[in-house]
Amino acid sequence: MRVAVLNGPNLNLLGVREPALYGHETLADIEAMVRAEAALLDVELEWVQTNHEGALVDAVQGLRGRTDGAVVNPAAYGHTSLALRDAFLAVQVPFVEVHLTNIFGREAERRQTVLADLAVAVIAGLGARGYTVGLRALVDGLRAG
Ligand code: DQA
- Please list the pLDDT of the chain residue by residue as tens digits (145 residues): 999 999 999 999 999 999 999 999 999 999 999 999 999 999 999 999 999 999 999 999 999 999 999 999 999 999 999 999 999 999 999 999 999 999 999 999 999 999 999 999 999 999 999 999 999 999 999 999 8
Cα four-point dihedral sign 36, 42, 43, 46: positive
Q: Which DSSP string corresponds to 56-94?
A: HHHHHHTTTTT-SEEEEE-TTHHHH-HHHHHHHHHH---
Distant-in-sequence, close-in-space partners of 18: CB < 8 Å, separation ≥ 6: none
Pocket test for ligand 1, best of 101, 110, 114, 123 (most atoms within 8 A of CB): 101
pTM for the structure as a whole:
0.98
Ligand 1 neighbour 101 (Cβ under 6 A): yes
Please give the Cα distance from 129 to 25 (Å, whole number): 11
Ligand 1 neighbour 99 (Cβ under 6 A): yes
